[in-house]
Structure 1
């Protein structure tokens, strides 16, 4: 049996630049929610609102999908509201939010997202926001597509066999 007691529990609190207004959404304090934070984000000066939920992967169903790190984060993006940012604004928001998460937790090596396999709109936004499609996965309640993004200093490391030290 795997226990996660020694792993980081609460996700970091990102700080966005002046282009965005980030507001935490208060949720009831329960053990399961201690490992997640939800934010409402709007462009500075007003505009469409996006809901973003951040979890630590060890405390999220995605922990069964890949060999995660203790500080990996799972990002949920809700674009279902008719007033949510569209395909032009949402990728800009994702890039800013991801950068802020990496800055808030220097030990985070990967942020993953897992939209439902039929949610092609979110998949398009994730790709435009810098996430790479990794694989499909089956969770207990849904079939999802796994996307991931890594900090630039890690993403630039070559994995080609010719570049590996021998």
Structure 2
């Protein structure tokens, strides 16, 4: 079963105003949500979308969790720094809105170095490359602090 994407209009992203681009009369269990975010102190707008990974082609890229989310951001020309700032505020809000989420991922095209840099500046870590039907992507991920801080070294594992 594909899980719904959390509604961020019910969760605050500090320093940002969010506006949903989807009709609010649609069913609440949607697996994709599209938003426009604007900084509280300015008029610039950044569009981003959230997807439930189990219902997205990215599910073929890694051993996903049932509540993992994929994000894609459309930064305006020259607005990459602002978009990175949005991601740094958005990711913690996503983990708050969906506490069962293990990972927020993004997958820009392998030749989209500007988007890759934006994701790195936004706090995402490059994981791997993956081939999808539409082409090769680079998988980026962020985990909540409760998971990211867990050691995976064999010496640290309980025996």
What's the Cα RMSD here?
Answer: 2.1
- The alignment partner of 2:96 has SS state of helix
Structure 2 residue runs without a partner (length 5+) = none
2:68 matches 1:40: no
2:67 matches 1:71: yes
Indicate conservation of the 8 Å contact 2:73/2:83, yes or no.
no
Relative to the length of structure 1, the TM-score reads 0.86
Relative to the length of structure 2, the TM-score reads 0.90
Whole-angstrom CA distance in 1 between matches of 2:98 and 2:24: 24
Q: How many residues align?
A: 156
Whole-angstrom CA distance in 2 between matches of 1:144 and 1:117: 5
2:111 matches 1:118: yes
Structure 1 residue runs without a partner (length 5+) = none
- The alignment partner of 2:54 has SS state of helix
Indicate conservation of the 8 Å contact 1:40/1:52, yes or no.
yes
